[in-house]
Structure 1
């Protein structure tokens, strides 16, 4: 149940950011934004939050989330032909906002999901 709640928080944060940037800024369909949210959420939760965060800490996990978010958003945007004008800028801005949210989300993960007080996050 803890993982479901964490995934829900992460999904809501990501959906809002992606809809504001890609949906409103680049006229991406809500369905595409939703699918991208699910894809990005599952991959970054497993890779960044469950694997990298406990081993390397918040800074490395946040940087990893930024890079992963940028690559997935940009690649998905290219595949869907989301307003190719300045797609790199939109992907960078989205990834930056997601990384800022992830910085705070990692504190929640450390306290409520990972339960590892021996590692400073």
Structure 2
């Protein structure tokens, strides 16, 4: 369920940022911004946030997301629109989304680390309910010393 929440949050913030930059600033239609956001959120979450972030640090994952955003936004904007300033729109979008991704990765790391800790502690007794070992004898019985 946490993955759905994170994916929805990523989609909403990515859509808001891209709609402000591409929609308002560069006259890209609402449908095209929505389609770019849908592709970017899905690919970015599973590749950047789940695979790269889990194996590397936040900075590396942010740089990878910048490259991913730049590529996806550039090619999709170029294919879906007839504008001349595709590179400028893509650069501004990629920089803005990289800043967002840096903080989003911190949220993803906190959420998924908490989820892993819960999975690891499922079979462990909660703190306060500690148990001890007991035996019948304090010293081993030696039949030779009888």
TM-score calculated relative to the size of structure 2: 0.76
Describe how 1:66-105 pairs up with structure 2 within 5 A: 66-84=66-84, 86-105=85-104
CA RMSD in angstroms, aligned pairs only: 1.3
Q: 5+ unaligned residues in a row in structure 2: which ranges?
A: 118-146
2: CA distance, partners of 1:98 / 1:75: 16
2: CA distance, partners of 1:114 / 1:65: 20
Higher relative contact order (CA 8 A, sep 6+): 1
2: CA distance, partners of 1:48 / 1:89: 23
The count of residues paired between Structure 1 and Structure 2 equals: 116
TM-score calculated relative to the size of structure 1: 0.91
The ranges of structure 1 where at least 4 consecutive aligned residues each deviate by more than 6 angstroms after the TM superposition are: none
Q: 5+ unaligned residues in a row in structure 1: which ranges?
A: none
Which has the larger helix fraction? 1
